[in-house]
Amino acid sequence: MSPPTGIVADHTRTLRVLSLLSYALTALLAYLASFLPLFDSSPLAILDKTSGTWTSAVAYPLLRWDAFYFGHIAQHGYVYEQQWAFFPGTPLVMRGVAELLRFSGVAESGSGWETVLLGGALAACLCDSTTTLYRLSLHHLHSPSLAFLAALLSLLPSSPMTLRFAPYSEPFFTLLSYRGMLYCAREQWFGATCAFALAAAFRSNGIMLGGFILWGLVAEPLLSRRCVSLANVLYAFLLTLSMAFPFIYHQYLAYCAFCQDTISIAPWCTSFPPSIYSYVQARYWGVGFLEYWTLQQLPNFLLAAPVLILLLSFCTHYVLHALIPRLRLALSGKSFNAPISGPDGSVAPFLDPSLAPHAIHTLILTLLLLFNSHTQIALRLAASVPLTYWAAARLVLERPRWSWWWVAWSVVWGAVSVVLWTVFLPPA
């Protein structure tokens, strides 16, 4: 049964207004924090804060952390080996919007750095994913009020600057991921492939999104005891391979740049498969299994703990109470697609069968962040996982006391992270 159109329209309008307010508060806090002294003065070597132009005033708080890499790639292309850890989607958007700003005369007084930073920030501002999350939540939770609650909670992200203003991959990746997931929910597989392929041009973990296509076209019919033709299986794998094209092409360009010279061949060229991404991550950022598990990184684990605990607890609950029972039924020759009931006999929306690919995807991503990455990145990537806000909504319904702790942490940490970002302090 479709929700009343009037309620959905009211919710959408409210979310848009609150989202604009959230953007405004984040921008105001970043502006005020920009008057504080920098922990690292690197931005001052590139930008002239005292020039008095509006472009320098706006661009100055944006040049932090990975924005150095994205901005340099946007202006000069891939020059240094370590830059290949960053995918081309964000630099291309920064460069494209910067050209539009120059052409329109809006930023003609700005330097190259200022203009590309402004271009990235403007594009990020246009990537609000709140209403897309609301529509996705409507499909999976089957309740306008729950969908509205989840969307409201998404207005308190754990990394507001990288999601809303910074010339980073997060705003683009989040919106494209949500769009692709929504297409999957509607069984619009070609649209999902296009959205996921674009997402994979912004972040390497975009290739994991292909699992939603495989689940919808192959796994879900099998669990429902429906016949899956060989043509359908081939179609699913073809779509998945297509959406991985940006990742593969990025590796191919690097191979052409570093592995054609037989005299001074790069070390990673002889590995199989030859991946500059894995090599650069390991060499320059120390990424590897348990490589981050050192005593000096304990503060970063503690910072990411609220997000990791929320995601792992929800995924574990779903796997134990929804996915495994459904797998058992399928193995016994039975199908089950109805919503699962809770202990009191009521329908449990957070155990809905349609959430299965989200729970699996989130569980794999969370374990990778915990054991094989810079764990604090979870603070940035959490926004790209809709299950983050479904898990928070579940706390509100089933664990009200814990939900207040989550909301309080989200508000306090969100504000603190904006200040830390602006003064160039960790976590990155």
Residue 260, pLDDT score: 86
- Furthest CA-CA distance within the chain: 72
Residue 346: per-residue pLDDT: 55
Burial of 266 (0-12, 13-18, 19+ CB in 10 A): middle
pLDDT tens track for 108-135? 666 689 999 999 999 999 999 999 999 9
- Residue ranges of the domains in the chain? 34-125, 130-243+286-422
From 117, 106, 126, select the one nearest 73 (Cα to Cα): 117
Mean pLDDT of 223-228: 88
Region of residue 77 (phi > 0: left; psi between -120 and 50: alpha; otherwise: beta): left
Q: Is the pLDDT of residue 152 over 90?
A: yes
Burial class (CB in 10 A: 0-12, 13-18, 19+), 368: middle
Q: Residue 342: which pLDDT band, with cuts at 50, 70 and 90?
A: low
φ and ψ of 326, to 5 deg: -70, -40
Q: Which residues of 219-256 are buried (b: 16+ CB within 10 A; e: fewer)?
A: bbbebeeeeeeeeeeeebeebbeebbebbeebbeebbe
Q: How far is CA 29 from CA 26, 223, 380, in A?
A: 5, 49, 18
The position carrying tokens 């603190």 is 416
Q: Rounded to the nearest 5 degrees, what angle is found at the Cα of 333, between the Cα atoms of 332 and 336?
A: 95
Q: How far apart are CA 248 and CA 210, in angstroms?
A: 14
pLDDT band at 340 (very low <50, low <70, confident <90, very high): low
pLDDT tens-digit map of 67-91 = 999 999 999 999 999 999 999 999 9
Q: How far is CA 28 from CA 24, 35, 50, 134, in A?
A: 6, 12, 20, 26
Judged against a pLDDT cut of 60, whether residue 203 lies above it is answered with yes
Average pLDDT over the chain, rounded to an integer: 93
Tokens representing 421?
């970002």
- Helices and strands, number each (H, E), in the chain: 21, 0
Output the pLDDT for position 108. 63
The model's pLDDT over 390-425, given as tens digits with 9 standing for 90+, comes to: 999 999 999 999 999 999 999 999 999 999 999 999
Q: In the predicted model, is pLDDT for residue 344 greater than 90?
A: no
**Residue 104's pLDDT band (cuts 50, 70, 90):** confident
Q: What percentage of residues in the chain have a pLDDT greater than 70? A: 95
Given this model, what pLDDT does residue 330 score?
Answer: 86
Across the range 178-190, mean pLDDT stands at 98
Average pLDDT over residues 239-265: 91
